[in-house]
Amino acid sequence: MQYSFEDGVYDLYHTFTPPSFRGSGIAKILTYRAFDHVVDSGAKMKLTCTYLEHVNNKDQNPKYLPHVVKSSSM
């Protein structure tokens, strides 16, 4: 996962799983570990990565929703 951090906001902008591991659930595990880190650190997150945005929109987990900020370009 690639990200930047500025002013208390993580911009989570890229998630990659090697082709040989795709479909095994690794990306989803990585996603929730990243989301948990943001929550535990009291920060916010901008989900620039389309996969992360998809997971967040699909699951609508109330633990994470207050920590998501919308990008001005979204």
What tens digit of pLDDT does each residue of 11-34 get? Answer: 999 999 999 999 999 999 999 999
Residue 74 is assigned to a structural domain of this protein: no
Q: Is 62 left (phi over 0), alpha (psi -120 to 50) or beta?
A: alpha
**Closest CA relative to residue 10, chosen from 52, 46, 60:** 46
Q: What is the pLDDT of residues 36-62, one digit of tens each?
A: 999 999 999 999 999 999 999 999 999
Domain membership of residue 43 (yes or no) is yes
**Looking at residue 74, what is its pLDDT?**
43
Per the domain annotation, does 53 fall within a domain? Answer: yes
CB–CB of 35/64 below 8 Å? yes
When comparing pLDDT for 70 and 24, which is higher? 24
- Rounded mean pLDDT, 64-71: 92
How many whole angstroms separate alpha carbon 17 and alpha carbon 9? 24
Instruction: Check which CATH number belongs to the domain holding 35 and give it.
Output: 3.40.630.30
Q: What is the number of domains present in the chain? A: 1
